[in-house]
Amino acid sequence: MSDQTAPQDPTTQEPRPKQPADDLEPPGRTAEMSQEPDHGETTYAGSGRLDGKKALVTGGDSGIGRAVAIAFAREGADVAISYLPEEEDDARTTARWVEDAGRRAVLLPGDIQDEAFCHRLVEDAVSGLGGLDVLVNNAAYQMAQDDGLRGITTEQLDRVLKTNLYALFWITRAALDHLPRGGSIINTTSIQASDPSPPLLDYAATKAAILNVTRGLAQQLAEEGIRVNAVAPGPIWTPLIPATMPDEKVEQFGGDTPLGRAGQPAELAPAYVFFASQESSYVTGEHLAVTGGRLF
């Protein structure tokens, strides 16, 4: 993101993607991108809105998760980061940004497709942070299939459902034993929940389910004083995009939005900060769409 103190033209303030898709293996590493995303490293300035809070962010090594971790840290929160072991380099980079903000970073590698790991993840986050106030269910997997349903193997379907949906249930269920009154759960849904792209049928289905879970869980947990909300990104430039989409799709990524471009992770982070902060104390069961103008 460019200087936030000066007016910016939202149609041109960020570059359009130019990364060949075959350069990355899924889920993709930030360091391998020829055009790295903006996570707010040089632009996000905190103001103490999350002072003293302790947050767990899944998929915190790169993309949206890294931007959220950086923003949370600069707002005063300690952050535990969940990530796949093969994303260690990206995770350590995120941790350095958190620590540069003067906050504690806890690195928790593992595969959230495994239910036992999801339980350990929460326990280790609570142990490393000294508690838990905010849970961000952000990790996700997608793989575009131009053959539609015929191209979705059972192996792919299992990976998408377990990463995007099962893990959300497992991690959130474990976190309920630790979240206090005033705690916040923030789920990452997607524009795909309401406007599914045919090549992303399985992924879109999980994102629709996440939105529904957000609304239902918010009603379940209201009497416990725990709020549940969701952020719905549109096309956001992260390593997952060039790693899982064909070249021509990458070049056009985000071009169909009214603003005419893909968003950057740094442009999403303020939505997560809002839901984690006291400013949204009367908001639960809601979603905030950050889509470049595409209607949700």
**What phi and psi, each to the nearest 5 degrees, are found at residue 122?**
-65, -45
C-alpha to C-alpha distance for 13 and 32, rounded to whole angstroms:
23
Q: Which residues have C-beta within 8 Å of that of residue 276, sequence separation ≥ 6?
A: 50, 53, 55, 72, 77, 134, 136, 184, 186
Rg over alpha carbons for the chain, rounded to the nearest Å, is 18
Single-letter residue type at 205: A
Residue whose C-alpha is closest to residue 210's, from 225, 192, 194, 188: 188
Q: How far apart are CA 197 and CA 125, in angstroms?
A: 35
Three-state DSSP at 50 gives coil
CA 268, CA 266: separation in Å to the nearest integer? Answer: 5
Please confirm, yes or no, whether 203 is among the known catalytic residues. yes
Spatial separation of the C-alpha atoms in residues 261 and 237, rounded to whole Å: 10
Per the listing, tokens 């131009």 go with 146
Cβ contact 271:49 at 8 Å = no
- Which of 141, 203, 272, 282 is catalytic? The answer is 203
Looking at the annotation, which residues are catalytic?
Answer: 203
